Chains A and B, each alone.
Chain A
Amino acid sequence: MIISFAFLIASVLFIVGIKLLASPKTARQGNLVAGLGMLIALFAFLPLMHGSHGGGVSLWKWILILAGIVLGLVVGAAGAYKVKMTSMPQMVALFNGAGGGAAALVAVVEFAQVTPSSSLMFVVSMLCAAMIGAVSLTGSIIAYFKLEGHFDKPVTYPAQQVLNGLLFVMSALLALAMAAGSHSMVLMVLFLVLALVLGVLMVLPIGGADMPVVISLLNSFTGLAVAADGFAIGNIAMIIAGTLVGSSGTLLTLAMCKAMNRPVTNVLFSAFGKVNGASADAAAATGSVRPVQADEAAMLLGMAARVVIVPGYGLAVAQAQHQVRQLADELAKKGVEVSYAIHPVAGRMPGHMNVLLAEADVPYDQLVEMEAINPEMDRVDVCLVIGANDVVNPAAREDKSSPIYGMPIIEAEKAGTVIVMKRSMGKGFAGIENALFLRDNCRMLFGDAKASLQELVTLVKAG
């Protein structure tokens, strides 16, 4: 009875925690509240522990369990505190893969405990957990390597979807055989291997730029796998926690796809960048870029009444968040109104740029979302684009043949002057030309973002 109440409290704390995560003011408490719920669930579970077929748990098993927990704690903590904020997507991918792997392993061990009297629901839950967990594990690992840049291009080959479909049908047939009463471990291992391969093959053809969507989706997969394990074990807290993650993760995935204006099926089943890149190139080939020197750029910025900074992943790569803040501070001292326009998919994950700027002590109330800044853009004197490309590409609004056509963008070209800081004339993550750079009101400040910003800070200070 008390134990049931403890699980109820834990479930409520998970719900309240996610709710609090929805506002920047309460987000940190929200995470702690959910963490408290997790501790309660963990301790409430201890009296429910039992050995095989309902026997007691030997001392040596308890030691093994404790050792496992401590080992995981040390590895997890080391990862959590050492990871650079720019590598956050990779970290989430790894933690997610760990959860998926755990869910699959639990399902396999539980499957070995199946007796002829086990209910069909028990067996089916186990199979779902094994399959989804395994896909999430290998899918997350591939996503991790893609984010680390180990694959240059999406891996594609003929009949890819057919092969994946075939694998899926084979796993489904195996699952049917096992659900029908053939509780053979050989079938289970075969089933697991198929699921692991399926996870790899599902993520391989998806481009690196789409990895956040994949991780978000796999996050919800792991949630569902955990819920399925909860069904099998008969633990309601696991079912509720897993399902909440499953449904919220699905919604988050759809929100990300919406921000890129691509249906989720397009992200998952068609390798990006293959579509008519040629016509976009042709359209962009007219006109010439206007380079600018740092002193002129500093003057433009210093004389402006209103400056909007559009940060992109290039800023994070150059580790120049602190220099941006310094520049903003110096401009503010001169009476310039400075704000940051954040595209929903700036960085490598939605909201990633907010985290990176927060790390550099930029107050979050200076960060303006795309929808809020666009109507005001024509009253902005200078728009400073740093290491961003696709999210300010006007082709998304004007060029129907562009692969990013329809994606909502920050309308930087409407500002009085646009200064684009870029390393070179390279293309963005989507691999297409940017017509913004050829506009009359656009100036290009070439060079390393960090060094250029440092120079601007000094010049603005002196001027």
Chain B
Amino acid sequence: MTADMLIFFIFVLSIFLGFELISKVPSMLHTPLMSGTNAIHGIILLGGMLALAEADGFIQHVAGFAAVVLGSANVFGGFMVTDRMLQMFKRKK
């Protein structure tokens, strides 16, 4: 099996894993969940960093830099706002 094929296997299995993980979440947590998964796709920051490192010429630099800023805002802001929401969920004392 080629490396590409192996990666494709991981991709397909991840799809099913995602379905399984979410199917049991109560609706009261849907908002934090949406916000939390939103933060996880902030991993695009890695791609942005690589894009800026590889950038050649002015326009690519601008695009790469924008990708880093947007990715960084997505990942850090996403985790922070989710935490801010979840810290308020308390049981009866």
Contact = CB atoms under 8 A, between A and B. Distances in A.
Interface of A: 14-15, 17-19, 21-25, 27-28, 30-32, 34-35, 38, 41-42, 45, 48-52, 57, 61, 64-65, 68-73, 75-77, 79-81, 83, 85, 88, 91-92, 95-96, 98-99, 101-103, 105-106, 108-110, 112-113, 119, 121, 215-216, 219, 222-223, 225-227, 229-231, 233-249, 251-252, 255-256, 259, 342, 344, 347, 349-352, 354-355, 358-359, 361, 363-367, 369
A71 B10 CA distance: 34
Given A65-B52, A76-B73, A252-B30, A231 B14 contact: no
A105 to B, nearest CB: 4
A251 B19 contact: yes
Nearest to B93: A363
Given A28-B86, A41-B46, A35 B63 contact: no
A364 B72 CA distance: 32
Contacts of A85: 85
Interface in B28-47: 28-47
25 contacts: A28-B87, A31-B32, A38-B40, A42-B46, A49-B53, A69-B68, A69-B72, A72-B69, A72-B71, A92-B34, A105-B63, A121-B4, A238-B46, A239-B11, A240-B10, A243-B11, A247-B22, A252-B30, A255-B30, A344-B27, A351-B27, A351-B29, A352-B31, A355-B31, A358-B90
A79 B81 contact: yes
A27 B72 CA distance: 23
Contact of A76 (B33, B77, B83, B91): B77
Interface residues of B, number: 79
B38 A109 contact: no
A354 B29 contact: yes
Residue of A51, A109, A229, A351 with most chain B CB atoms under a 10 A cut-off:
A109
Contacts of A256: 30
Given A101-B70, A240-B10, A351-B27, A76 B38 contact: no
Nearest to A247: B18
Which 7 residue pairs spanning A and B have beta carbons closest together? A72-B72, A76-B77, A247-B18, A68-B68, A351-B30, A80-B80, A350-B30
B42 A18 contact: no
A227 B46 contact: no
A190 B36 CA distance: 33
Contacts of A77: 76-77, 80
Interface of B: 4, 7, 10-11, 14-19, 21-56, 60-61, 63-93
A202 B10 CA distance: 31
A27 B30 CA distance: 11
B40 A95 contact: no
Contacts of B61: 64
B1 to A, nearest CB: 15
A215 to B, nearest CB: 7
A233 B22 contact: no
Given A31-B82, A251-B19, A354-B29, A68 B69 contact: yes
B77 A75 contact: yes
Question: Which of A81, A98, A238, A256 has most B Cβ within 10 Å?
Answer: A98
Contacts of B63: 105, 108-109
Nearest to B12: A243
B21 A248 contact: yes
A147 to B, nearest CB: 13
Contact of A226 (B27, B43, B51): B43
B32 A366 contact: no
